[in-house]
Amino acid sequence: MRAKLRRLVRIAKMCATDSRVPVGLRWTFRVILAIKAVPVPDFGVDEFLLVGAGLVIVAVPKYRRTFRAIIADA
């Protein structure tokens, strides 16, 4: 469980900093990570942003290939 969680966090960090990911998606991942790091109620904002970013990644084939490459690097 811990290994999977660490891998997911590593993938999210890579998505937030990788230059192959468009700037808008990078900022979305950064906001999601920032909201998760702050111990205050977020009322589901980060989940909403995560679903939106996931839909963009799945809908655009170019981004899908980039995301698969990032997962392979992780």
Domain count, the chain: 1
CA separation, residue 21 to residues 2, 26, 38, 44 (Å)? 26, 6, 24, 24
| Domain region containing 9 | 2-73
CA distance 49 to 70: 19
Residue 54 — pLDDT band, cuts 50, 70, 90? confident
pLDDT in tens, 11-32: 888 888 888 888 988 998 888 8
CA distance 48 to 42: 11
For residue 5, pLDDT over 80 is answered with: no
> Residue 25, Cα to own-chain centre: how many angstroms?
8
What is the percent of the chain with per-residue pLDDT over 90, rounded to a whole number?
Answer: 1
pTM comes to 0.72
The reported pLDDT for the residue numbered 9 is 79
